[in-house]
Amino acid sequence: MKTKEEIDRLIMEDYQGRPYALLIAVIIGFLLIAVPSWIIWQFGLLINRIKHLTLMLILMIFISPGILAPESHAVTLVEQSAINPYIELYQATCVVESNNNASAINYAEQAHGIVQIRQCKLNEYYRATGIRYSLKDCHREGVSKEIFMWHCMKYIDIELSARRWNGSGPLTDKYWMKIKKQLKIE
């Protein structure tokens, strides 16, 4: 058996004349041991995380429904849609005001968009919500619908809402008849 000094002497003789060869051999040896160890360590961390997540998922799936929900052997899937009592009024108003033309402009009244919004309505909307739109914005159906729905929410029924959208006074009777015809109500 060789002593440590003899082994060191043999190594030095082996690398004589090649001063960087020993350094390169040490670095390669380190990389061959350290890099795989680091990869295995990282993989172990990943596996532990996956184990924890899997356990939490299993607990959530199998335990929490029994705790949170009454026992039932039936599953009922129901699609919920937003309740909007004024959507039909909006559609009828689009037909009466502009014949569903989002680009419509009434130059005499300076009314714009699919539901013919005037500047006074935009000003009222701005005072109430803090959202400022221009008449040009009213040509975007989403903006017109937003303002119209806001208007409708202020009134108890669709007739009053439709009449106030048109204005006030006896001229709203004729307007309401057009809206009723579109809504197909007596």
Q: State the pLDDT at residue 170.
A: 87
Alpha-carbon dihedral angle through residues 124, 128, 130, 134, given to the nearest 10 degrees: -20
Residue type, 58: I
Label residue 47 by pLDDT band (50, 70, 90).
Answer: confident
pLDDT, the chain, mean: 81
**Nearest Cα residue to 165 out of 185, 181, 180, 149:** 149
Q: Strand locations in 71-128, DSSP E?
A: 105-106, 111-112
Predicted structure pTM score: 0.56
Residues of the chain above pLDDT 90, percent? 48
| Calpha distance 112→142 (Å, rounded) | 13
Label residue 118 by pLDDT band (50, 70, 90).
Answer: very high
Q: List, in order, residues 6 or more apart from 92 with CB less than 8 Å away.
A: 162, 179, 182, 183
Q: State the pLDDT at residue 36.
A: 66
pLDDT digits (tens, 9 = 90+) for 23-37: 666 666 666 666 666
Q: State the pLDDT at residue 38.
A: 65
pLDDT at 124 over 80: yes
Label residue 54 by pLDDT band (50, 70, 90).
Answer: confident
pLDDT at 99 over 90: yes
Joined tokens for residue 106: 């009434």
Joined tokens for residue 167: 């204005």
Per domain, the residue ranges of the chain are 4-68, 87-183
Joined tokens for residue 152: 């409708």
The domain over range 87-183 is classified in CATH as 1.10.3470: no
pLDDT at 102 over 70: yes
pLDDT at 103 over 70: yes
